[in-house]
Amino acid sequence: MTREDAQAKLEEYRVLIDGLDRRIVALLNERTQVVEEIGRVKRESGLPIYEPKREELVFANITGANQGPMPSDSLRRIFERVIDEMRRIQRLRMEAAGEK
């Protein structure tokens, strides 16, 4: 493969990655909308934001659905961060609603 061929192939892959990244962003925003609704229900019923048992179910769900090539422990670390951010959003929304 020539340097020019490699550059062209890399550009193709980068276009694919850009599209995938946009899809991931859309899915994360969709997930955030659901999390906001969950936060509203928790706020109205006085339930805690943090539910360790539920988080373990989420991890079991994602690792059970994983068919690779990403290792399940990598997915778990990614989702730990996603869940942390979603929990932060719930707290912020609950605080904002409490101030009104």
Query: For residue 91, which of 16, 65, 83 has the smallest C-alpha distance?
Result: 83
Residue 96 predicted with pLDDT over 90: no
HSE-up of residue 89 (Cα within 13 Å, Cβ side)? 18
Ordered structural domains, the chain, with CATH: 3-99 (1.20.59.10)
pTM: 0.85
pLDDT digit string (tens) for 30-56?
Answer: 999 999 898 889 888 989 888 999 999
Report the b/e string of 9-34 with b at 16+ CB within 10 A: eeeeeeeeeeeeeeeeeeeeeeeeee
> Confidence class of residue 100 from pLDDT cuts 50, 70 and 90?
very low
